[in-house]
Amino acid sequence: NSIQDTVIIGKKVIYLPSCHSTNDIAAELVRGGMFSEGTVVITDEQTKGRGQRGSVWLSPPGENLTFSLIITPEQVLIAEQFVISQAVALGVSSYLKARGLDAKIKWPNDIYIGQKKVCGTLIENSIQGNSIVSSVIGIGVNINQRNFGDMRITSIGQCLDRQLSLKEEFGELVRHLDRVYVRLRSGDFDSIRSEYLSHLFGYREKRYFRLQAGIVEGTLTGITAMGRLCLLVDGETEIREMDIKEIEWIW
Ligand code: BTN
């Protein structure tokens, strides 16, 4: 099984009707050394889908896309690893744009349509020396789900008010991911970084954030190569670099 018209991603697709987590299956393939770059593991149902910050990723069987892909980027240093997240977020947003939807990336790499989350990603890197040798990129995109029990979540089908073919959406999304990955592979990091900023939710806007010390009003002014968020706070006098464990958005 493979996706047509791609250079790297989706040349091999492993379909499992059900599994615990596609990220875990992909990580097992990496550990065993039994994979080719661009292999995608996709399932209809995850029994132990994982989200960011140790959360659970729930997705009703057969309604959405849940898959993971394996890349071996070679030239990405640990110190610049966030470019992988940026490329993935851009791949998903350009796919949504092709569907007529204006997507924004909510730092670090959630994808939003308006004020609602439509896609989450879980990226797990393997390191050797000072570089990333392989990366498992887990993607969960809401496609046909309509009931969420949470007003802050949506699906593409809900936004477009129609039922979509999971197979077609998968093929199209993988083609967009492949295109941006080819750019990353060629070392085009600067343009990926600046394109990411241009799609960033809340960029250069005043917002409230929860820090360990309490709630602050701050302006998101940039993202470092490691993916730390630069926040201008305290009457625009201080820039703090924060990572995902130290800071939370407040709506
Ligand atoms: C998040 O927003 O919290 C990240 C969600 C990532 C979910 C995807 S679904 C496919 C892959 N397998 C997992 O267990 N998680 C990721």
Q: Is there a domain that residue 182 lies in? A: yes
Whole-structure pTM value: 0.95
Percent of all residues in the chain with a pLDDT value above 70, rounded to a whole number: 98
**DSSP-derived pairing of the beta strands 40-46 and 13-19:** parallel
CA atoms within 13 A on the CB side of 208: 5
Residue 48 burial (C-beta neighbours within 10 Å; 0-12, 13-18, 19+): exposed
In a domain, 4, yes or no: no
- The number of the ligand 1 atom at minimal distance from the alpha carbon of 48 is 14
Query: What pLDDT, in 10s, does the model give residues 189-228?
Result: 999 999 999 999 999 998 898 888 888 888 989 898 888 8
Structural domain boundaries, residue 188? 13-198
Query: Same domain, yes or no, for 218 and 191?
Result: no
Indicate whether 136 and 240 sit together in one domain.
Answer: no
**The total number of structural domains that make up the chain:** 2
> Is the minimum distance from the CB of 50 to ligand 1 under 6 angstroms?
yes
| 154 within domain boundaries | yes
Residues 87 and 63 in one domain: yes
**Same domain for 227 and 113?**
no
Q: Residue 187 Cα, ligand 1 centroid: separation in angstroms? A: 27
Read out DSSP for 32-64? HT---TT-EEEEEEESS-B-GGG-B----TTTS
Least Cα distance to 221 among 247, 191, 241 occurs for 241
Q: Are residues 226 and 166 in the same domain?
A: no
Same domain, 92 and 158: yes
Contact yes or no for 57/153 (Cβ under 8 A)? no
Kindly state if the Cβ of 63 falls inside 6 Å of ligand 1.
no
Atom nearest to 51 CA in ligand 1: 3
The response to whether residue 39 sits with its C-beta less than 6 Å from ligand 1 reads: no
What does the pLDDT look like over 54-86, one tens digit per residue? 899 999 999 999 999 999 999 999 999 999 999
Q: What is the largest CA-CA distance in the chain?
A: 56
Same-domain check for residues 88 and 159: yes
Q: Decide: 163 and 171 in contact? Cβ < 8 Å.
A: no
- How large is the angle between the packed helices 189-198 and 166-185, nearest 10 degrees? 130
C-alpha angle with apex 103: 137 to 109, nearest 5 degrees? Answer: 35
The DSSP bridge pattern shows strands 110-113 and 116-128 to be antiparallel
Q: Are residues 176 and 235 both part of a single domain? A: no
What ipTM goes with this model? 0.99
Instruction: Return the pLDDT at 233.
Output: 84
Q: Where are the beta strands (DSSP E) in the chain?
A: 13-19, 40-46, 65-71, 103-106, 110-113, 116-128, 131-141, 206-211, 214-223, 229-233, 238-242, 247-250
**Whether residues 224 and 100 fall in one domain:** no
Query: Do 210 and 191 fall within a single domain?
Result: no
Whether the Cβ atoms of residue 201 and residue 106 lie closer than 8 Å to each other: yes
Lowest-confidence segment of 61-75, 91-105, 122-136, 223-237 by average pLDDT: 223-237
Which helix (DSSP H) or strand (DSSP E) does residue 28 occupy? helix 22-32
Any atom of ligand 1 within 6 Å of the Cβ of 93 = no
Same domain, 174 and 245: no
116 and 220: one domain? no
Q: Does 109 contact ligand 1 (Cβ within 6 A)?
A: no
